[in-house]
Amino acid sequence: MAVLPPDPVFSLRCPEMGAVSSLCFHESERLLAGTQKGKVFLWDLQTNRSPMHFEVGSEPITNLHHTKEHLVTQEKGGTITTYSISNSSYVKERSIPGNHLGYCRTALHINPNNTNEQLLFYPCEDTAIGVLHVTDPAAPTQMLLPDDPQLPKLGSVTCFKPFECASQLFLLAGYESGHFLTWDLSSGVMIDIVDLAPEAISVDYDAITNRGIVGTANDKLATFSYQRQSMQLQRGSELCIKNPGVNCVRIRGDQKVFASGGWDGRIRIFSWKSLRPLAVLTQHKQGGVMDIAYSPQPVCMWRAPIMAAAGMDGQISLWDLYN
């Protein structure tokens, strides 16, 4: 007999929310959802209700980040807005107009040795990547621009992932051409380029296990690793999935599993150690799964870490899997 997929522990819905394009946890008891209508909904996971929502703009919210003191939103078109928390509400601090017509999402890196050092990487026009100091409004934004004339035609940036290795900060960036560039951010120098995955949409990398995963518009997930001394990226194996198109790939912090959210509405769970498929979750039946997020700590109501997933069907599914 075929093993039936597990059920979610809960599904969050409200008529006003509609389709959800991005998720992030604030600690573990609050979940924020960015919608296609340009609003952010805050969900209290102790009551499974949404006590507040607010409008960011008219464009879909393609990504969200929440730190201890700030919320960062990214809108379709690339506009970045930062908010501070004041009296249980969000106060707009600054907004950076965007000029990115693609689907690349922002990425946030918080220095583990200094939590006030928070760098936001965001897509800009053409091949450029902007770097914003979230906690320092006076700091100028910086630009990473692959301007070597010997580089192939890259197209727009499609995904990126900041990571630390041997106390150094790097950025891996994928482009429309399928090339992935690695930047040493201490010097601002590009140190590697590899033709890895055409039509890349999402990337994640775990420095502890030295392995990463790329989700694309086709029916394959590509793995990779780094040669640590030279920091040259090396291709790994490919994982085939039934239907093409992956909006997001997310490695869980305990390195036990990773998940992909597909255009077909399926959430696919894989073992991170063996890359073996473990489950296909079919809760989202109308439209694609747009984002997946993991709670940093156990959620009190469920006494377990929770995976949240959301998409075009207007629901947020909560899962307790392989903990």
In order along its 323 residues, the chain shows pLDDT tens digits of 456 778 999 999 999 999 999 999 999 999 999 999 999 999 999 999 999 999 999 999 999 999 999 999 999 999 999 999 988 899 999 999 988 989 999 999 999 888 889 999 999 988 999 999 999 888 888 999 998 888 999 999 999 999 999 889 999 999 999 999 999 999 999 999 999 999 999 999 999 999 999 999 999 999 999 999 999 999 999 999 999 999 999 999 999 999 999 999 999 999 999 999 999 999 999 999 999 999 999 999 999 999 999 999 999 999 999 98
Q: Are 276 and 292 in contact (CB under 8 A)?
A: no
Three-state DSSP class for residue 296: coil
In the beta sheet, which residues pair with residue 267? 261, 281
In order of 62, 225, 310, the CA distances from 13 in angstroms are 19, 39, 10
Q: Report the pLDDT value the prediction gives residue 1, as an integer from 0 to 100.
A: 43
Q: Report the pLDDT value the prediction gives residue 3, as an integer from 0 to 100.
A: 60
Is the Cα dihedral 8, 277, 245, 110 positive or negative? positive
Q: Where are the alpha helices (DSSP H) in 115-177?
A: none
Quickly count: other Cβ atoms within 10 Å of residue 13's Cβ.
Answer: 12
Quickly count: other Cβ atoms within 10 Å of residue 111's Cβ.
Answer: 12
Three-state DSSP class for residue 68: coil
Structure-token pair, residue 6: 């597990």
Q: Report the pLDDT value the prediction gives residue 172, as an integer from 0 to 100.
A: 98
Q: Report the pLDDT value the prediction gives residue 141, as an integer from 0 to 100.
A: 86
Q: Report the pLDDT value the prediction gives residue 319, as an integer from 0 to 100.
A: 97
Q: Report the pLDDT value the prediction gives residue 101, as an integer from 0 to 100.
A: 86
In the beta sheet, which residues pair with residue 189? 184
Is the Cα dihedral 182, 185, 187, 188 positive or negative? positive
**CA triplet 218, 276, 10: central angle to 5 degrees?**
85
Residue in 151, 138, 142 with CA at minimum distance from that of residue 169: 142
Quickly count: other Cβ atoms within 10 Å of residue 268's Cβ.
Answer: 22
Q: Report the pLDDT value the prediction gives residue 296, as an integer from 0 to 100.
A: 96
